A and B are shown apart, each in its own frame.
Chain A
Amino acid sequence: MIGSPDVVAFAKEDEYGQTSPDLWPLPEEFSVPLYPLADSNPWAKTSYAKFTKDFILISEFSEQVGPQPLLTIPDDPKVCGTFDLNYFSLRIMSVDYQASFVGHPPGTGYPRLSFVEDSRVVLGDSKEGAFAYVHHLTLYDLEARGFVRPFCMAYVAADEKKIMLQFQELSLRFSQASECLKAGNRRAFAKELQRKLRDLEYTHSVLQREEGLQREAGPQSMYSAHAVEKANELANVEKSIFEHRDLLKQISSYHRRPRRDPHAVTCQKCVDECLSECEELLNKYAKIAYPCGYGEKAGKGEDGQGHPRGQGEDDDEEEEEGVKRKLSYTPQLIKAKSAKCFDKRLKTLQELCDKTFYEATVELLKETERSFRGDLCYLYTRRLDKALQRKQRVTTFLFEEDLNDDDEDELGTLRPFCAVNHAVDNYVLLNPPPIVLAPEPHELDALERPEHLDPASETSITLESELGLGESHLESSPSDQTLETQESSEETKGSFSSDKSGVGLAEIQQSLVSMKSEAPDPDPDSDLTPDPNHNLERESSSEEMETTAGEDEGENGGDQTPVSLLEVVSELEANREEEFEGVSGSELLVPIDTACCMVQEGFLYEASAPEAVPHPCQNSHLQPSQTLVVNQEPQALLPLQDDYTVGSPCSESPATGLDLPSGLLGDAVSRTSAEDGSDCTMSASTGSDQTASPLGYGALVTLRQRKKAGQGALRFVRQYPFAIQALWCLLSGRTLVVLGADEGRVRRLVAALALFVPAPGKCGERVQAWLSCPFTLTDLQRWKLIGLQRVASPLGSSMLYSLSRYSRYISILDADHKTLRCPQYRGQLLANIADHRTYIRRGSTYFLHLQSTLCHLAAKAFLFTFTHHLHLPVSSTEGLEVVESRRRCFLQEQLGLSEEDSQILLYLSQLITQQYLQPTGSSAAAPSFSFNYTTSILYKI
């Protein structure tokens, strides 16, 4: 009978076609599983892989030992099991990564940093049962070959399809992580360069001194082998200085490069900060150490300061130490030949990236790992669910858990991930407004503009001239050196005007300098950055940077005002100069310390619009004038952002979910509503310990808690025959008081019943789990579910008095005596969620069952609320009775609801109306409290 054509006709044709050759399959018990099941979970395909669940692997292609795994997320050896990470690292790192330029490209005199875009590939190892999304990136390391260190981050899963279908999302997340790492790396690299330059300069000065001694010793020694060697060495050092300076320039121009990678979105602020730091450094090292002739002149100039030539280096060092006591870094002589790569220790990933950035990246990856837990079907339904929820804000507040805005951003747009802000303050991070901290170097025109636009900076210029600090003529002197130097001096010029303003203000705000000492400064190198302005001013007359810088520090009372920050300050908030002064002071002191972001946050972003979105780095190469507009009006950026998002290929799909084939999609949709499907989706999530959804960030009532409560609710329904009445009370807005002597029991009951409270609020504000004092009318108004302590004392009697007094507004569930006093419910609507003899055994199943019923209710309530003629007369001649009867007809006949069921709908409708009228719930008026006058009945078990 089963095989008859009638039955088949109802099935799909293709299914028929597929099944026909296998008409007589082996009975289940005789079949041998293709892969031995490692665990009994049939939904996880990971069963034949050597690891139990998906993980993230970070590997490196070390120039010393080759590919090696660095860490896994989660960092738990159990996760990987017997899976060979070394082997897999080899696999994923051996992919022909984009050929990167190393060394000296033809036509340029200096080594070039290679700006390599990340690459994304999906790799599989079917033998191992492992598939991976692999994200390659390179980080800069001064000591590494070609200055680059290749890394990769891989999302390793057993399900190839999962990776393929999640590719966009994975790419997005890993791009964020990668950008974060790279941002930190650029900072660290700049810091390293700075240190190196410092060493080089020092070496240079020492060599020069030695050379000078030789020259004084006589012409014959000028041509000795020793002297020639010294001269060569000096030349080498000079070359090295130029090289490193060039590197610094390159790294600072990093962000201006057009990015081909649509996913590469960086936090503009971090980029800008890094840029400004590099710029400072560039300014500082722009005009050091020139070939001998010039150096001698400069040296003479320096003699004026009472430094007799030929002092020993120890002496010199001591002198330096004396001048700038604060400096903790001692420059070192650089040997002519640096150590070869095999006998030096390579920097770790933590060292390569700034610590904050590294940690933030790891956090981000952890978050990523969490959000990709579960099988594809589960992921898909959840995403679909979220997408739908987002569209139905009118009703979702009733029964759904609150969606995080954070979450929304993540999916909808390319939200740049900023390590610093993220680590410091969550919600500030969410909308860091696009503020360009530093003006673009090389573009003098652009620079002139903001200043003239802005009265504040004009003021500062005047101040500066009054103080006699306008030494712009000084900086022109070295500009005729080489092409490179000219460039750098132009850069200097570019930011010079703002420098001056900085100085001017700084002089005034001397007192605020004291803030420096309080600045959180874990970085010993931070003091290495002296004030670029002063360097600049002195530069033409001095050769020895160290000394001058140190003296400057002394002269100015350690006043160190960074350039670009002040620019912003004056642009943004002219009247806040003082505070910024302080802030920027600390910023300079801690030039690479990321904590300063937070401080700036407080001031800079206070006035900015909350909806402002940081712009992706693609925008940073806009015309400077445009950037300036953005600078002043954060909102102006929004259209730009939108354009960008729409244009990018990945913008669409993450919002709505995966690009599943339609058949699969249909499947998933049906599963969301069907109860049988829910069990299997749950098993992937609730079965293990992965229930916590990644969205439970700020909301106290998480999905996990709610699912847990499902068990309690199921128990309640099965245990109490009058559960249906209690549920009806909650759903129809009648406050339910759970009375009991045992706190644990009452709390458990309340937690279980809280599932049924419509619109419980983000943190469950409408539920009071445990109350031990008499309540008042306002309490009833505020809480829809109250756990009340039963006490045998005078207090208890007054409590009982309030119970009886307000008995018309409440239902009382006595947990001790197992009674319920509430109005009678005769409806049918709740019968399927409050079935005393339900076959549902699992809490999570019940929860989903409940969700679907409540969702259904919410949909009905929505329909009811927004159907005009059910509430208001259609024509002016119509009386209220007509409307009333129409409403009754709709509820009873069309929706098939009894009187009590209608009350549920009316209550939900009222909530929807209130929510719609006052979405924030903030109203000057007191909330209203509705009730009916109906008789209560005492139910016993």
Chain B
Amino acid sequence: MKSPVLCIGEEQPKNCFTELQVLKGHFDIVRFLVQIDDFRCASAGDDGLVLVWNVETGERLQELRGHSQQITAITTITCKNEVTLNTSLITASSDRSLSLWDPDTGNRVQTISDLHSSVKCLLVLERLCVWLSGGEELCVWNRDFQLQCQRPNHSDTGITALIELPKNYIAAAMDKKIMIYSLTVSADSSVSVAEIRCLSDHQDQIRALINVNDGFFASGSHMGELILWNATEWNLLAYEHILWEESQAYNQTEIRMGAPKPSEMSIQHLTTNGNLILAAVGSGLYVYSIQTRSVVAYRKVAHDSNVLHTMLLSDSELMSCSEDGSVRMWEIQDLPLPAEPASSGFFGMWSFGRSNKQSGPPSKKVIDIPNIRMLELMGDLIGHSGAVQMFVSFKEKGLVTCSADHLLILWKNGEKQSRLRSLALFQKLEERGGL
């Protein structure tokens, strides 16, 4: 099952995470991580707890207790008071309540309970000083937790994702459709929501919806459709059905082998940096270029199990975490021999890179794209004993991962930490005036 290529082994010279801290505090699966500022992050999970951590030291700063059931969504909201930026946390829970927390004091500033349904997603519109909650209904709230307006919805699944579009429009993913709402703020600062359009190009349930840049947004569905939309006109710009051809091919040739199950082609997560879209498809990773409107690099089996969260660190580096409990770091590399004519060298790479299971005649699609590049495993982080749900990078300061094993792990650059400790040592030495 395991591809030999993916066993990078223990020699990982490019992996700089040589120190870790295990952060304990949760009693159940930790599903969410949000960055509060440049040194704090909050974690939330099925135990209903929200914990605020200092990423630099690994200390637990606050314990936000209040929700009786699992947290379903968490986001930060920033208020600009005169000089200071004050970041608060909004959490939604299965206990059908919404809370506003002050991460500095740990106080529950606001709370709304007895909602009709539990909220599945949150969207803060800083510009309009409102925030939206999506679930079975779409609600607009102001900063003081006052309901501005509310829009019930007819879909069974409710709104699973919300993004902000230019010109006060909102896109909401509901089952197979994407609804475009317009938000109007009248003179008396009352807000109203209007349904503008319904985009129903997806054949299956929409799993991911993201803003790419000012001009585009993208969505991914359960059966592997990746659609790039125009953010202002809301029309379909590109449609990529990942693994489609391959599954077709399988269906035609070797039925016994079985086509990839829908879950194996499901787009679990989308992330972008404006130029590239990284799609987590099943246990594979696909990098889609906005410019060329094509997949530029991919690894069909990047993890042993479903990829749950991904991140593009730069145009060439990316990171993914999976149900298999590992975090992997990848680099998009050019082909080893770019000058050589594509076919032979390319084939070698391809068959090498593929897992044994999918070894078969290379599909046409791959050959059709001449400028495809490699996705090379640079290193992996192994520490969690359960699925890694999410991670947040604090750049130099490290990486926080959260997992189903109730733990958070803070991964750091050992050399840097050692330097910092040395600094602290000499400072203390100086303060004491000697040993």
Using a CB–CB cutoff of 8 Å, the interface residues on chain A facing chain B are 394, 776-778, 781, 802, 805-808, 823, 865-866, 868, 871-872, 880, 906, 910, 913-914, 916-917, 924-936
B340 at the interface (CB under 8 A from A): no
- Alpha-carbon separation in the docked complex, A935 to B325 (Å): 21
With A802-B385, A925-B57, A929-B22 given, name 4 new contacts (CB 8 A): A778-B22, A778-B407, A868-B426, A926-B410
A849 to chain B, nearest CB (A): 28
- Alpha-carbon separation in the docked complex, A94 to B13 (Å): 82
Q: Contact: B428 with A926, CB < 8 Å?
A: no
Q: Contact: A935 with B11, CB < 8 Å?
A: yes
B245 at the interface (CB under 8 A from A): no
Q: List B388-423 residues whose CB lies under 8 Å from chain A.
A: 407, 409-410, 412, 414, 417-419, 421-423
What residues on B are CB-neighbors of A924 within 8 Å? 57, 59-60
28 pairs, A vs B, C-beta closer than 8 Å: A777-B383, A778-B22, A802-B385, A805-B385, A865-B422, A866-B429, A866-B435, A871-B422, A871-B426, A872-B419, A872-B422, A872-B426, A910-B418, A913-B418, A913-B421, A916-B425, A917-B424, A917-B425, A926-B24, A926-B58, A927-B21, A928-B19, A928-B20, A930-B417, A931-B18, A933-B15, A935-B11, A936-B10
B396 to chain A, nearest CB (A): 12
B405 to chain A, nearest CB (A): 8
- Alpha-carbon separation in the docked complex, A932 to B413 (Å): 11
What residues on A are CB-neighbors of B419 within 8 Å? 871-872, 880
Complex: chain A residue closest to B435, CB-CB: A394
Complex: chain A residue closest to B418, CB-CB: A910
Complex: chain A residue closest to B15, CB-CB: A933
A883 to chain B, nearest CB (A): 8
What residues on B are CB-neighbors of A913 within 8 Å? 418, 421-422, 424-425
The residue from B22, B414, B417 contacting A781, defined by CB atoms under 8 A apart? B22
Chain B interface residue count, CB cutoff 8 Å, equals 41
A153 to chain B, nearest CB (A): 41
Interface centre among A802, A925, A936 (most CB of B within 10 A): A925
B431 to chain A, nearest CB (A): 12
- Alpha-carbon separation in the docked complex, A775 to B421 (Å): 29
Q: Given A872-B422, A872-B426, are A934 and B11 also a contact pair (CB < 8 Å)?
A: yes
What residues on B are CB-neighbors of A778 within 8 Å? 22, 24, 407
What residues on A are CB-neighbors of B383 within 8 Å? 777
B9 at the interface (CB under 8 A from A): yes
Write the B12-31 contact mask toward A (1 if CB under 8 angstroms, else 0): 11010011111110000000
Write the B152-193 contact mask toward A (1 if CB under 8 angstroms, else 0): 000000000000000000000000000000000000000000
Q: Contact: A914 with B18, CB < 8 Å?
A: no
What residues on A are CB-neighbors of B426 within 8 Å? 868, 871-872
What residues on A are CB-neighbors of B18 within 8 Å? 930-933
- Alpha-carbon separation in the docked complex, A672 to B25 (Å): 49
B379 at the interface (CB under 8 A from A): yes
What residues on B are CB-neighbors of A802 within 8 Å? 385
Q: Contact: A928 with B417, CB < 8 Å?
A: yes
Q: Contact: A933 with B435, CB < 8 Å?
A: no
B19 to chain A, nearest CB (A): 5
Q: Given A806-B382, A925-B21, A928-B412, are A914 and B10 also a contact pair (CB < 8 Å)?
A: no
What residues on A are CB-neighbors of B423 within 8 Å? 871-872
What residues on B are CB-neighbors of A925 within 8 Å? 21, 54, 57-59
What residues on A are CB-neighbors of B9 within 8 Å? 935
A775 to chain B, nearest CB (A): 10
Q: Given A394-B435, A934-B10, A935-B9, are A777 and B425 also a contact pair (CB < 8 Å)?
A: no
Q: List B363-384 residues whose CB lies under 8 Å from chain A.
A: 379, 382-384
What residues on A are CB-neighbors of B417 within 8 Å? 928, 930
What residues on B are CB-neighbors of A906 within 8 Å? 418
Complex: chain A residue closest to B417, CB-CB: A928
Q: Contact: B422 with A930, CB < 8 Å?
A: no
The residue from A806, A917, A926, A936 contacting B22, defined by CB atoms under 8 A apart? A926
The residue from A872, A929, A935 contacting B19, defined by CB atoms under 8 A apart? A929
A921 to chain B, nearest CB (A): 14
A803 to chain B, nearest CB (A): 12
A751 to chain B, nearest CB (A): 28
- Alpha-carbon separation in the docked complex, A925 to B39 (Å): 14
Write the B50-83 contact mask toward A (1 if CB under 8 angstroms, else 0): 0000100111100000000000000000000000
What residues on A are CB-neighbors of B409 within 8 Å? 777
What residues on B are CB-neighbors of A927 within 8 Å? 21
What residues on A are CB-neighbors of B410 within 8 Å? 926
Complex: chain B residue closest to A778, CB-CB: B22
Complex: chain A residue closest to B383, CB-CB: A777
Q: Contact: B13 with A928, CB < 8 Å?
A: no
What residues on B are CB-neighbors of A805 within 8 Å? 325, 382, 385
- Alpha-carbon separation in the docked complex, A115 to B57 (Å): 64
The residue from B11, B385, B422 contacting A776, defined by CB atoms under 8 A apart? B385
What residues on A are CB-neighbors of B379 within 8 Å? 933
Q: Contact: B23 with A914, CB < 8 Å?
A: no
Q: Contact: B10 with A926, CB < 8 Å?
A: no
Complex: chain B residue closest to A927, CB-CB: B21
What residues on A are CB-neighbors of B13 within 8 Å? 933
Complex: chain B residue closest to A917, CB-CB: B424
Q: Contact: A910 with B10, CB < 8 Å?
A: no
Q: Contact: B22 with A777, CB < 8 Å?
A: yes
Q: Given A807-B10, A808-B382, A866-B429, are A929 and B21 also a contact pair (CB < 8 Å)?
A: yes
What residues on B are CB-neighbors of A394 within 8 Å? 435
Q: Contact: B58 with A928, CB < 8 Å?
A: yes
Q: Contact: B19 with A930, CB < 8 Å?
A: yes
Complex: chain B residue closest to A916, CB-CB: B425
A782 to chain B, nearest CB (A): 10
What residues on A are CB-neighbors of B412 within 8 Å? 928
What residues on B are CB-neighbors of A868 within 8 Å? 426
B423 to chain A, nearest CB (A): 6
- Alpha-carbon separation in the docked complex, A927 to B417 (Å): 13
